Amino acid sequence: MKYSIFSLVRNALSHHERWPLAWRSPDPKREYDAVIIGGGGHGLATAYYLAREHGIGNVAVLEKGYLGGGNTGRNTTIVRSNYYLNANAHFYEFSLKLWERLSVDLNFNVMFSQRGVLNLAHSYADLESYSRRGNAMRLNGIDAELLDRDEVERMVPLLDCSAEARYPIMGGLLQPRGGTARHDAVAWGYARGADARGVDIIQQCEVTGLRRNGNRIVGVETSRGYIGAKKVGLAVAGHSGQVAAMAGLRLPIETHVLQALVSEPVKPVLDTVVTSGAVHFYVSQSDKGELVLGGDLDMYNSYGQRSNLPPVEHAVQSLVALFPSFGRLRMLRTWGGVMDMSMDGSPIIGKTPIDNLYINCGWCYGGFKATPAAGWCFAHTIAQDRPHALNEAFTLDRYAQGHTLDERGAGPFAWMH
Amino acid sequence: MMLIKCPHCGARAVTEFTYGGAAEIARPADPVGVSDAQWTDYVYMRDNPRGVHDEVWQHSAGCRRWIAVRRNTLTHDVIATADPGKLPHR
C-alpha cells in the first residue's frame, strides 16, 4: 500500500485499526541468491538496492534481534558529508544526496531535516584546519561555509560566545545541508521497501556459523536452521569480528562502546547540530524536544551495550560549558552502542578473501549517515562482484597495501579515530 | 565506575588510566626479515574478543607505569593485573 493523504484519510475512518503490516515475517526458504546478515539500516538498505537496482529480489535479511535494534536505533541521527579526504567526501556526499530524496524514494517519512551541522572553532589553529577542510569540501562540490565568531553567535544565540567562555568561540565551519533524520524510520522504510520487492526479512534469527566448501560459502547455520546462500553479505557492525571469525577472517577492527544521552524535552531552543572537535562533544535537539548529546568513546575495547559514568559526565560538562543556560536541564536517559572502530577511521565495504563473501564494517562514528550509500555500494559490490566507484577505496586489503584512509591522521590506534 | 587495581598503587578509578590496546601484539623481532603480511598483522589486525582480553594500560594520573590488565570486554570485570608481560597464562 502506498502511504498518502488518501490512505491516511481512509484509515482514519476505520480508526487506524486496518493498516496492513509494513512487512511480512516469513519463514526462511531453503536457499537464497543472497543472504544479508544483519537487519540494521545498512543490511536492509543493501537488500532494498539489490532488489531495486540489480533485480535480485530472492534475498533474505537475517537479524539476531529486531530490526534496527542495534546501532541503527542507538545513534544520534546526525547526517553530514563534511569530509576532507576525496574518497570519504565523494562517498558521504553521494549518501547525503540519497538522503535528500529518501522519504520520496521509500514512500516513508524518514524526517530528514537539513538544519545544518556546525563545527565550532576554539582557536586560530581550529580555524585554519576548518578553512582547509571547508575548501577541500567545496572543491569536491560539497557545501561549506566558514563562519566568524559573530556569525556563530547570531546563528546559535544560546552558545557562550563571551570573552570569559570556558571554550572561547573563534568561528566555525558550517555545512548547511547537513542535519538529522529519524533513525528508526530509516530501518523501517528500507524494510518495507525491500519486503515489497520480495526480500524476506527474518528476525529473531541468529547466525551461528558459515558453511564452507573450498573457498566459497554455501550457506549459513542459524538459530532457525540452515539456509543456503549463493552470496553472503555481512553488515553487523559492532560484532563484525565475531561473524567474520566464522569464516576464519581476522579484521583490522576493535569494538568500542560509544554513549549518548538525552535531556528532558523542552521547547525549540537549538535549531542546528553543534559539534566541537576540541571539546569532543556534539548536541542537537530532537523533534520531541530532547537535547541529544554525546562525545567520545569510553576508550577501551568493549562489547557492553550500555552506559558508563565518566563519558556521560564529560558530555554534560561540555554541554554546560558551551551552553550555560542548559545547566538546569535534567538528563532523561543514557545508552551505549558498540562501534566497529577500524584502524584508519574509515569504513570497509568490499570483497573478502572468500569468493562469495562480502563485508560491510568498520563504520566508527559514522555509520548512520552512511546508510543509503553503504546500502547502494554494498548491493553493487555483491551483485556485480566488484566494488562501485564510490567504495573502491574502502577495500579490506588497503591496510596491507598501505592505502589507508586516515581522515584524522591518528595512526593505527582504533580508539583514536 | 570501572576500578583497575594498579600493582603499585592499588585499586583506582579508570579515569586515572590511559588505554594502550591489546597486550598480545608484539613488534616483529626481525623487522627486515618479516613479510608484508606479517607487518600488516602486527600493525592492523586484532583478535577483538567478546570476553576475556589482555591489555596494556598506563597509570597516567598515578605512578605513570605501564601495567598489564586482563579484563572482560563484555562485563567490564577486571580479572587480573600485573606488570607488563607478567599476567598468568590463561
pLDDT tens string B3-13: 999 999 999 99
CA distances from B17 to A219, A239, A300, A410, B11 (A): 45, 26, 10, 20, 11
Mean pLDDT of A2-8: 96
Rounded Cα distance, A414 and A365, in Å: 11
A89 three-class SS:
helix
* The pLDDT value given to residue B24: 87
Residue B55: partners with Cβ closer than 8 Å, 6 or more residues away? A300, A301, B19, B20, B21, B22, B23, B68, B69, B70, B71
Identify each DSSP E strand in A185-285 by its residue range.
200-202, 207-213, 216-222, 225-234, 253-263, 273-276, 281-285
pLDDT tens-digit series, residues B29-79: 999 999 999 999 999 999 999 999 999 999 999 999 999 999 999 999 999
Q: What is the CATH number of domain A117-175+255-342?
A: 3.30.9.10
Q: Is A124 on the interface with B (CB under 8 A)?
A: no
* The pLDDT value given to residue A205: 98
Q: Where are the domains of chain A?
A: 22-81+84-107+183-252+344-416, 117-175+255-342
Q: What is the CATH number of domain A22-81+84-107+183-252+344-416?
A: 3.50.50.60
Q: SS3 string of B14-67? A: HHHCEEEEECCCCCCCCCCCCCHHHHHHHHHCECCCCCEEEEEEECCCCCCCEE
Please name which of B31, B43, B21 lies closest in space to residue A398, comparing C-alpha atoms: B43
CB of B13 closer than 8 Å to CB of B3? yes
Residue ranges of the alpha helices (H) in A82-233? Answer: 86-100, 102-106, 124-139, 149-155, 183-196
Reported as a pLDDT band with limits 50, 70 and 90, residue A1 is: confident
Q: Is A254 on the interface with B (CB under 8 A)?
A: yes
At residue A134, does pLDDT exceed 90?
yes
Give residue B69's domain range: 3-24+50-82
Distance from CA of A37 to the nearest CA of B (A): 19
Residues 317-336 of A with CB under 8 A from B: none
Residue A28 one-letter amino acid: P
* The pLDDT value given to residue A319: 97
Closest partner residue to B40 (CB to CB) among A400, A413, A414 is A400
Q: Degrees (nearest 5) of the Cα angle A63, A68, A70?
A: 80
Closest partner residue to B43 (CB to CB) among A251, A254, A412 is A412
What interface predicted TM-score (ipTM) does this complex get?
Answer: 0.95
CA A316 to chain centre: 23
Residues of B in contact with A308 (CB under 8 A): 1-2, 76
Interface touch B40/A310, C-beta < 8 Å: no
Closest partner residue to A254 (CB to CB) among B1, B43, B48 is B48
| Inside any domain, residue B37 | no
| Inside any domain, residue B40 | no
User: pTM for this one?
Assistant: 0.96
Residues of B in contact with A399 (CB under 8 A): 40, 43-45
| Inside any domain, residue B66 | yes
Distance from CA of A103 to the nearest CA of B (A): 37
Rounded Cα distance, A140 and A370, in Å: 17
CA distances from A159 to A128, A167, A270, A282 (A): 21, 10, 10, 13
CB of A88 closer than 8 Å to CB of A349? no
At residue A307, does pLDDT exceed 90?
no
Residue B46: partners with Cβ closer than 8 Å, 6 or more residues away? A241, A250, A251, A252, A253, A254, A343, A414, B22, B25
* The pLDDT value given to residue A209: 97
* The pLDDT value given to residue A308: 85
> How many of the other CB atoms lie within 10 Å of CB of A26?
12
Residues of B in contact with A250 (CB under 8 A): 41, 45-47
* The pLDDT value given to residue B1: 87
Please name which of A372, A402, A407 lies closest in space to residue A390, comparing C-alpha atoms: A372
| Inside any domain, residue B34 | no
Distance from CA of A270 to the nearest CA of B (A): 31
| Inside any domain, residue B68 | yes
| Inside any domain, residue B62 | yes
Distance from CA of A29 to the nearest CA of B (A): 31
Q: Which residue of B has its CA nearest to A248?
A: B47
pLDDT tens-digit series, residues A179-204: 999 999 999 999 999 999 999 999 99
> How many of the other CB atoms lie within 10 Å of CB of A27?
9
Please give the tally of structural domains in chain B: 1
CATH number, position B54: 3.30.2270.10
Arithmetic mean of pLDDT over chain A: 96
* The pLDDT value given to residue B90: 85
CA A87 to chain centre: 17
Distance from CA of B35 to the nearest CA of A (A): 11
Q: What is the DSSP letter of A170?
A: -
Rounded Cα distance, A359 and A247, in Å: 11
Partners of A217 in the β-ladder: A212
